[in-house]
Amino acid sequence: MSDTLPPLREVIREFDLRAKKSFGQNFLLDLNLTRKIARVAGDLSDSIVYEVGPGPGGLTRGLLAEGAKRVVAVEMDARCLPALAQVSLAYDARLSVFQGDALEVNETELLAPQGGEKLRIVSNLPYNVGTLLLIKWLTLEDWKPWFSSLTLMFQREVAERIVAKPGSKAYGRLSVLAQWRGKVKIAVNVPAAAFTPPPKVASAVIHYEPCAPMDAAVKQKDLELVVERAFGQRRKMLRASLKSLPVNALDLLAEAGIRETSRAEDLSVEEFVRLARVYGKTRS
């Protein structure tokens, strides 16, 4: 489906939508690129797509042009609402926009699928809240989650942390939280020049699909705590970094079969999950 709306640069001029740093805004104006990102999410014809921070609607238009059954967007910046209303009109009201803070949204109530549609999150996330939103979606207590997939734009450095493997400098808390019950990859690299205004760093789109956890007996909160303490002092050996846990760190490591001289970046995701299971058993 072709897009018959005015070019995004004209939309920005018409509605005076200069990007604001306070909203973490960097707009994507290349509709070929936004359609490419939309295709990473898969077949959208049976999907309700949740988009955070659509701005003037570049990615929104890409999602609708690629056949999304419905797009539900949350935008904090009231200046963008008239431009998004134009998009909704051009695409037969398949776009619904709500003004508000995505960190406070109850997504399942907002999206309310009615016909068995898949729920997908596809967003060029505002830089200032992107990681917080990802953690919100990854740390749901009940799993499998309400969404079928996440297709999200981050600063390249953050994207590399999400997909990082043990032994790398990028490997850390985000890596473990993403990988213990999901499959994730970097799908598209996006240069800074693709944005208006161009940020100082390159970006990347990650695609994440939830799957069964490595150990269904592990509680999310136990894993979060163990990982947080381990990487809180990542250069220290685990026998020291885990001392702040309310258990004996040496006994915990021994029962989990992990060397006390290991450091956080040495442990695989599976080993962190095992450590969290032992911790949870010790605390119960």
Pairing of strands 118-124, 149-155: parallel
Q: Whole-prediction pTM value?
A: 0.94
Q: For the segment 75-92, what is each residue's pLDDT rounded down to a tens digit?
A: 999 999 999 999 999 999
CA distance 143 to 123: 22
Q: Are 120 and 41 in contact (CB under 8 A)?
A: yes
Domains in the chain: boundaries = 8-210, 220-283
Q: For the segment 23-32, what is each residue's pLDDT rounded down to a tens digit?
A: 778 889 899 9
Has residue 218 got a pLDDT over 80? yes
The superfamily CATH assigns to domain 8-210 is Vaccinia Virus protein VP39 (3.40.50.150)
Q: What is each CA distance from 71 to 52, 110, 119, 162, 266, in whole angstroms?
A: 10, 11, 10, 26, 41
CA distance 278 to 253: 9
Q: Which two tokens mark 255?
A: 């029962």
CA distance 280 to 284: 6
Q: For the segment 147-201, what is each residue's pLDDT rounded down to a tens digit?
A: 999 999 999 999 999 999 999 999 999 999 999 999 999 999 999 999 888 888 9
Q: Are 107 and 146 in contact (CB under 8 A)?
A: yes
CA distance 241 to 235: 9
Q: Which two tokens mark 90?
A: 């051009």
Q: What is the pLDDT of residue 156?
A: 96
Q: Are 142 and 241 in contact (CB under 8 A)?
A: no
Has residue 104 got a pLDDT over 70? yes
Q: What is the pLDDT of residue 197?
A: 83
The matching CATH number, chosen from 3.40.228.10, 1.10.8.100, 1.20.58.340, 1.10.3720.10, for 220-283 is 1.10.8.100
Kindly report the average pLDDT of the chain as a whole number: 94
